[in-house]
Structure 1
Amino acid sequence: MKIVVLAGGLSPERNVSLSSGTMIAHALKRLGHRPALVDLYFGLEDPAGPLEACFDQPVPDRWKQVDPQAPDLEAVKAARPGESPSQFGPGVLELCRQADLVFLALHGACGEDGRVQAAFDLMGIPYTGSGYVGSALAMDKDLTKRLVAPLGVKTPQWKRADYTDRDIDRLTSTTPVPCVVKPVASGSSIGVSIAHTKKELHAALVEGLAYGGQCVLEQYVTGREIQVAVLAGKALPSIEIIPSDGFYDYENKYQPGAAREVCPAPIPPAWEQAVGQAAVTVYQALGLAVYARADFIVDQGGTPWFLEINTLPGMTPTSLVPQEAAAVGMDYETLCQTIIDESLKARQGSR
Structure 2
Amino acid sequence: MKIVVLAGGISTEREVSLVTGTSVCRALRGNGHRAILVDLFLGLEEVPADLETLFDAPDGLCPSVEIRTAAPDLAAVRRQRKDQSPSHIGPHVLDLCALSDIVFLGLHGQDGEDGRIQAALDLLDVQYTGSGYLPSAMAMDKAVTKRMMDTAGIPTPKWQLLHYGPEDVETLAETLPMPCVVKTTGGGSSLGVYLPEDRAALRMALTEVLRYGDEVLVEERIYGRDMTVGVLGDRALPAVEIVPASKEFDYAAKYQSGGAQELCPAPITEAQQREMGDLALKLHQTLGLAAYSRTDFILDAAGRPWCLEVNSLPGMTPASLVPKEAAAVGMPYGQLCEEIVQLSLGVKRRDY
Query: More deviation in 52-61 or 68-77?
Result: 52-61
1:44 counterpart SS class: coil
| Distance 1:217-1:349 versus aligned 2 partners, 3 A rule | closer
Task: Give the match for residue 133 of structure 1.
Answer: 134
Structure 1 residues 48, 168: closer, same or farther in 2, change over 3 A? Answer: farther
Change in Cα spacing, 1:20 to 1:201, as seen in structure 2 (3 Å) is same
Unaligned runs of 5+ in 1: none
Deviation per CA, 1:154-202, whole angstroms, max 9, x where unpaired? Answer: 1011111122211211221221122111110011111111011111011
What is the deviation of 1:39? 0.5
User: How many Å separate the matches in 1 of 2:247 and 2:223?
Assistant: 13
Equivalents in 1 of 2:4, 2:69: separation in Å? 26
SS of 2:315 mapped into structure 1: coil
Mapped partners of 1:182, 1:49: distance in 2: 47
Specify the alignment match of 1:30 in structure 2: 30
Q: Which amino acid in the other structure matches residue 194 of structure 1? A: L
- C-alpha deviation, 1:82, in angstroms: 2.3
Rounded Cα–Cα distance in structure 1 between residues aligned with 2:40 and 2:348: 21
Mapped partners of 2:245, 2:63: distance in 1? 27
Q: In structure 1, what is the equivalent of residue 92 of structure 2?
A: 91
- Judged with a 3 Å threshold, the aligned counterparts in structure 2 of structure 1 residues 206 and 24 are, in CA distance, closer, same or farther, namely same
Give, in whole Å, the separation in 2 of the partners of 1:67 and 1:61: 18
- C-alpha contact (below 8 Å) 1:113/1:136 kept by paired residues: yes
Partner of 1:336 in structure 2? 337
Gap change, CA 1:45 and 1:272, over 3 Å in 2: same
Q: Tell me, in whole angstroms, the C-alpha distance in 2 between the residues paired with 1:189 and 1:244.
A: 15
Which structure 2 residues correspond to residues 173-212 of structure 1 after superposition, within 5 A? 173-212=174-213
Question: What's 1:299 paired with?
Answer: 300
> Relative to structure 1, is the Cα distance of residues 215 and 63 closer, same or farther in structure 2, using a 3 angstrom cutoff?
farther
SS at match of 1:245: coil
1:209-233 C-alpha deviation (Å, 9 max, x unpaired): 2111222111110111010000002
Q: 1:333 and 1:203 mapped to 2: Cα distance?
A: 44
Q: Which segment is superposed worse, 122-131 or 46-55?
A: 46-55
Distance in 2 of aligned mates of 1:330 and 1:89: 35
SS at match of 2:253: helix
Q: Is this contact kept in 1: 2:36–2:62, CA < 8 A?
A: no
- Matched position secondary structure for 1:284: helix
How far the C-alpha of 1:63 sits from its partner, in A, is 4.0
Deviation at 1:80, TM superposition (A): 1.5
Where does 1:121-270 land on structure 2 (aligned, <5 Å)?
Answer: 121-270=122-271
Query: Is the contact between residue 45 and residue 82 of structure 2 (CA under 8 Å) also seen in structure 1?
Result: no
RMSD, aligned α-carbons: 1.4
Letter in 1 for 2:102: L
How many angstroms apart in 2 are the aligned matches of 1:170 and 1:142? 22
Matching residue of 1:55:
55
Number of positions where the alignment pairs a residue of Structure 1 with one of Structure 2: 350
Deviation at 1:150?
2.7
- The alpha carbon displacement at 1:349 in A equals 8.4
- Describe the shift of the 1:156–1:174 C-alpha distance in structure 2 as closer, same or farther (beyond 3 A): same
Stretch moving more, 58-67 or 130-139: 58-67
What's the secondary structure of 1:149's corresponding residue? Answer: helix
| Contact 2:183/2:218, CA 8 A, preserved across alignment | yes
**TM-score normalized with structure 2 length:** 0.96
Map 1:268-347 → 2, pairs under 5 A:
268-347=269-348
Indicate conservation of the 8 Å contact 1:15/1:63, yes or no. no
Distance in structure 1 (CA, Å) of the matches to 2:317 and 2:191: 17
User: Percent identity between the aligned chains?
Assistant: 50
Greater shift in the superposed pair: 68-77 or 190-199: 68-77
Supply the distance in 1 between the matched residues of 2:86 and 2:122 (Cα, whole angstroms).
Answer: 21
Deviation at 1:252, TM superposition (A): 1.4
Instruction: Tell me the SS of whatever aligns to 1:3.
Output: strand
The list of structure 1 runs, each at least 4 consecutive aligned residues, that deviate by more than 2 angstroms after superposition, is 47-50, 58-65, 347-350
- Whether the 8 Å CA contact 2:240–2:265 is kept in 1: the answer is yes
Residues in 1 aligned to 2:262 and 2:198: alpha-carbon distance in whole angstroms: 29
Q: What 5-or-longer segments of structure 2 have no aligned partner?
A: none
Q: Distance in 1 between matches of 2:298 and 2:180?
A: 14
Query: Mean Cα displacement is larger for which, 43-52 or 190-199?
Result: 43-52
Cα deviation per residue 1:131-170 (whole Å; 9 max; x = unaligned)?
0010000000011011111322110111111222112112
Q: How much does 1:271 deviate? A: 0.7
Q: In the alignment, is residue 72 of structure 1 matched against residue 59 of structure 2? A: no
Q: TM-score, normalised by structure 1?
A: 0.96
Aligned to 1:103: 104
SS at match of 1:121: helix
